[in-house]
Amino acid sequence: MDTTVLHGRSQRFETDTLYKELHYQYFFILAQTIATRSELCVIERRLIALQEAIRANAVVYHEKRVRMKAMRRQHDREERLRLRKSVLGKEMFRKYQFKVMVSSNLGFAHD
């Protein structure tokens, strides 16, 4: 058999030897292709599963952030309710108290 078609040079092989080699190469490549495709399918399935897990985690993360914000708001409210009036005034009405004190002190200074 002429092998110019196979590798570009003329070389004579016995048909039996050439048949065995070509048969081996064909089925070797076929088996590699099947194995590669099956690995690709497995990897795609894993990626899809990971993507779903990430999406589920994102939803849980968002829900937890909303709950944490509500808990923080409730905690801050409870802390403010526990504070005494003077401390509450310092925290919430600082500017107003300062203006009242300045105006009242100015009244003492002019007397």
Residue boundaries of the structural domains of the chain: 4-110
At 52 the pLDDT is: 96
Q: pLDDT grade, residue 9 (50/70/90)?
A: low
Spatial separation of the C-alpha atoms in residues 45 and 54, rounded to whole Å: 14
Residue that has been written with the tokens 């004579």 in this structure: 12
Q: How far is CA 14 from the centre of its chain?
A: 60
How do residues 67-108 score in pLDDT, each as one tens digit? 999 999 999 888 777 766 666 667 777 788 788 888 887 776
CA angle 78, 82, 87 (to 5 degrees): 120
Choose between 51 and 76: higher pLDDT: 51
Buried b (16+ CB within 10 A) or exposed e, 2-22: eeeeeeeeeeeeeeeeeeeee
Six-digit token string for 85: 């009036």
Q: Which range has the worst mean pLDDT, 19-28, 30-39, 87-96, 99-108?
A: 87-96
Spatial separation of the C-alpha atoms in residues 76 and 23, rounded to whole Å: 78
At 100 the pLDDT is: 82
Radius of gyration of the chain (CA): 41
**pTM value?**
0.46
Q: pLDDT grade, residue 5 (50/70/90)?
A: low
On the question of pLDDT at 65 being above 70, the answer is: yes
Spatial separation of the C-alpha atoms in residues 92 and 80, rounded to whole Å: 10
